[in-house]
Amino acid sequence: MIREKDSELKTMTENVEKMRHITQELVADGRNEADSASPAHCIKAIKMECDEGYFNTYSHFGIHHEMLSDHVRTSSYRDALLHNTALWKDKTVLDLGCGTGILSMFAASAGAQKVIAIDQSDIIYHAMDIARENKLSDKIQLLKGRIEDTELPQKCVDIIVSEWMGYFLLFEGMLDSVIYARDHHLTEGGLLLPNRCSISMIGLADTDRHAELVEFWTDVYGYRMTCLKHEVVQEATIEVVPANKVITSTCVLTELDLSTCSTSSLDFSSELKLEAITDGSITAFVGYFDVFFDLPRPVSFSTGPHATPTHWKQTVFLLEEPIIVQQGDVLTGTVTCQRARRDVRALSVTISVPGRKLKFNLT
Ligand SMILES: C[S@@+](CC[C@H](N)C(=O)[O-])C[C@H]1O[C@@H](n2cnc3c(N)ncnc32)[C@H](O)[C@@H]1O
């Protein structure tokens, strides 16, 4: 994931230029302009052109250290694979975006007959050494490349495993590649793991944090800088929020069934309904996701405020002006999530509640 801000990704203007250029090339190639300029083609074309920066972020060991040392994340995959060994016998597995190859090694240890592991970033060369170091090279075949552009040694696999989730689940847009792999390489009736995810939202009353991040601009060494408050609240922040400051019920915004969802799942609009469980001031809405492996021995994990923190933390949508609620009040509205216009791997989230339409970027 772009688990850090990636300044190398291109601006919208550059992307639009590239889109035009690519479309012209496709037309020159004899393809139909209407087909080649469809949103799906354009997104694919922009991604191909802009992904160098994205994959570079995964070349460094640091990001893999962060992911591997996220015990909730990594042990959930390990348990899903190793506690369901009957599923893997005689099966061919695709590990999409293998990174260091950790999930491939879990699959091999769980009894998979063969694992095809693919990654476009240079970390794959270390994954090759790691497979050798663990004497698993005979089981795990590692390929460098984008799944979308690489011919696999066999067209179809029985199981696809991938860790593709980004902040607020969908940031990073790797879900598109998982859907591509499912549609092109998963055998009929095959298994995609994890197989289900949901995105939820709660209301937070954290006046201390609000004072640090928003009210701060009211008095900076005796000067007013309140115009910056508006800027600050447009950028969602990624942090672990205190569970004891959650003052509403949870609202599940969307559920994704990985076996059927499409690339348009990144764009959704959902009803928001939060009941205040105590009196207070909502200073932020907080988004998080849950991940499910619905297997004979099921495994799931949550990235919510009440669960053990993960490296995804929570996604915090700060309010410029807090919303005062009393216990039992029900706050209703809508949450809309869309691909950002400037960057196909980023998101734009709009939260509408009575009297307010709040727009946030995840970049
Ligand atoms: C979140 S990391 C997960 C790494 C590893 N599976 C793990 O669990 O530690 C995602 C990996 O997918 C790779 N990736 C993303 N999109 C890809 C694509 N379309 N084709 C090949 N690799 C991809 C990235 O380079 C990155 O190494």
Domain of 88: which CATH number? 3.40.50.150
Indicate whether 228 and 318 sit together in one domain: yes
Which of 104, 149, 163, 312 should be mutated for ligand 1, with most atoms under 8 A from CB? 163
Q: Could you tell me if the ipTM is greater than 0.95?
A: yes
pLDDT tens string, the chain, 363 residues long: the values are: 444 434 333 333 344 344 444 444 444 444 443 444 444 454 555 555 568 889 999 999 999 999 999 999 999 999 999 999 999 999 999 999 999 999 999 999 999 999 999 999 999 999 999 999 999 999 999 999 999 999 999 999 999 999 999 999 999 889 999 999 999 999 999 999 999 999 999 999 999 999 999 999 999 999 999 999 999 999 999 999 999 999 999 999 999 999 999 998 889 999 999 999 999 999 999 999 999 999 999 999 999 999 999 999 999 999 999 999 999 999 999 999 998 877 889 999 999 999 999 999 998
Indicate whether 223 and 126 sit together in one domain: no
The region, left, alpha or beta by phi > 0 then psi within -120 to 50, assigned to residue 280 is: left
Indicate whether 202 and 343 sit together in one domain: yes
Which of 102, 116, 120, 289 should be mutated for ligand 1, with most atoms under 8 A from CB? 120
- Considering the entire predicted model, what is its pTM? 0.88
Helix axes 39-57, 12-28, angle to 10 degrees: 120
Indicate whether 222 and 271 sit together in one domain: yes
User: Is residue 169 assigned to a domain?
Assistant: no
Q: Of 25, 172, 215, 235, which one is the catalytic site residue? A: 172
Q: Which atom of ligand 1 is nearest to the CA of 121?
A: 25
Q: What would the two tokens of residue 297 be?
A: 């021995």
* Cβ neighbours for 163, distance < 8 A, ≥ 6 positions apart: 67, 73, 77, 97, 99, 103
User: Is residue 284 assigned to a domain?
Assistant: yes
**CA–CA separation, 236 vs 318, rounded Å?**
7
What is the DSSP pairing of strand 114-119 with strand 92-96? Answer: parallel
- Residue 118 Cβ < 6 Å to ligand 1: yes
Print the SS3 string covering 80-133: HHHCCHHHCECCEEEEECCCCCHHHHHHHHHCECEEEEEECCCHHHHHHHHHHH
Q: What's the pLDDT score for residue 170?
A: 94
Final residue belonging to a domain, choices 146, 163, 180:
163
Q: What share of the chain is helix, strand, coil (3-state, %, to 5)?
A: 35, 35, 35
Q: What's the pLDDT score for residue 17?
A: 45
Range of the domain at 344: 197-362
Indicate whether 203 and 347 sit together in one domain: yes
Indicate whether 236 and 343 sit together in one domain: yes
| Number of C-beta neighbours around residue 212 at 10 A | 10
**CA–CA separation, 204 vs 282, rounded Å?**
5
Indicate whether 135 and 244 sit together in one domain: no
CATH label of the domain that carries residue 215: 2.70.160.11
Q: What's the pLDDT score for residue 167?
A: 96
